[in-house]
Amino acid sequence: MLKRTLLAVVVVTLLVAAAPKPPVGTAPATIAHPMAMFLAKMSNAKKVTFSARAVGKRFFLEEKSGVSVYLFNGSDYRREAFLKGVTLAQAIKRYDKR
């Protein structure tokens, strides 16, 4: 009887330890006001999906319609171009040659 109880405790412990952890959010702890306003304007009460990546002095923001390319000028990023119908990978490859 003691062996069965011990086995049950071990099995329950293993099951609890193996349970999937709740997802951890990827959102930052703080967001600058201009960024919050940009995200609010972008979503405008609808679902928004985008990808972004920084490479060198450029920041790439991919949306459904294309990729916005921003260039860092020492204090902030200014839009340099909008590449319509281009994916994030294509935009990065195109600017990688510069």
Hey, where are the domains in the chain? 47-98
Confidence label for 93 from pLDDT (cuts 50, 70 and 90): very high
Mean pLDDT on 72-80: 88
Residue type, 9: V
Choose between 24 and 93: higher pLDDT.
Answer: 93
Residue 51 β-bridge partners = 62
Residue type, 92: I
Choose between 71 and 98: higher pLDDT.
Answer: 71
Four-residue CA torsion sign, 51, 43, 86, 68 = negative
pLDDT score for 84: 94
Q: pLDDT tens-digit profile of 9-55?
A: 666 566 666 666 666 666 667 788 888 888 888 777 677 778 899 99
